[in-house]
Amino acid sequence: MFSTEKRNQSVIKQILSFCPQIEEAHRHFNFDAEMFRSCSTYSNAVSFCIFQIGELANGLSEEFRSAHGDIPWHQVHGMRNIIAHQYGTTDIDRLWNVATTDIPMLKNFCEKIINA
């Protein structure tokens, strides 16, 4: 069985694995906000990754989340819930902001944790 620390490391690695997929979608669609708003393929690809990140974040131990309170873990998981339960009414601009601002910061955080 995994120790809590190893489990947290595993979850962080899994979270990190979705960040390049979001970057790839941005590159594929030329990092175009209007395209994001109008192309469901683009927004769905990014949404799926953010959904997965939120799901994974919920698997981190409470101790880990408390020790790394600079990441709003409750909001990370909350975004998963919004995507899962309110997708048809998800604020596309909010989703764009998460994908372009919050995900790069989360990626940097995860890389620091893994390389520590």
What separation, in Å, do the N-terminal and C-terminal C-alpha atoms of the chain show?
23
- Domain range annotation of the chain: 4-115
Asked whether 111 and 20 are in contact (CB, 8 A), the reply is no
Q: What are the pLDDT digits (tens) for 42-89? A: 999 999 999 999 999 999 999 999 999 999 999 999 999 999 887 667
Arithmetic mean of pLDDT over the chain? 94
Residue 81 DSSP code: H
| Pairwise CA distance, residues 45 & 61, whole Å | 27
| DSSP 8-state secondary structure symbol assigned to residue 116 | -
Q: Scanning the structure block, which residue is given the tokens 């994974």? A: 56
Tokens of 85: 């339960």
Task: Answer yes or no: pTM beyond 0.85.
Answer: yes
